[in-house]
Amino acid sequence: MLSSNGLRVTPQRLSIYEYLLSTRSHPTADEIYQALRSRFPMMSQATVYKTLELLVELGLVCELGFGDEPNRYDGNPKAHINIRCTRCHRIYDLEEPELDRLARTVQERSGFRLSGQRHEFYGVCPDCQRQR
């Protein structure tokens, strides 16, 4: 995807993308930087931010903003539901096959040409419920 858009495929860019594909934790840019800096000691935080911006622009990852908290990144760009724990702030994915049908219905009824969708639910995760 990068090379077909005239962009360089660097080891850093590939590693950032591979990291996002390998985790379900929805990391922040800083968490990604911390995870990869031992492999790429010369890589800057700016490289991580620019790469994430590029991957979002290409539709390979999703950026999730939550108000005053740092943005998080999701390596799963397909339509799915994000469920966020209001205590520990972890984000869980839930696949829902009806989302594609819902998007078609929204497009037909609104006349919009949709370019994306985002579905979020909030609550207390099972781990945090057990800690009460």
Domains delineated in the chain? 1-77 (1.10.10.10), 78-132 (3.30.1490.190)
> 35, 27 in Cβ contact below 8 A?
yes
Split at pLDDT 50, 70, 90, the class of 116 is confident
**Averaged pLDDT, 1-28:** 88
> How is residue 100 written in tokens?
């594609």
Q: State how far the Cα of 86 lies from the Cα of 1, in Å rounded to an integer.
A: 36
Q: State how far the Cα of 76 lies from the Cα of 62, in Å rounded to an integer.
A: 7
Q: State how far the Cα of 16 lies from the Cα of 75, in Å rounded to an integer.
A: 10
Query: Is residue 44 pLDDT above 90, yes or no?
Result: yes
The one-letter amino acid at 55: L
> 37, 43 in Cβ contact below 8 A?
yes
Report which of residues 116 and 47 the model is more confident about: 47
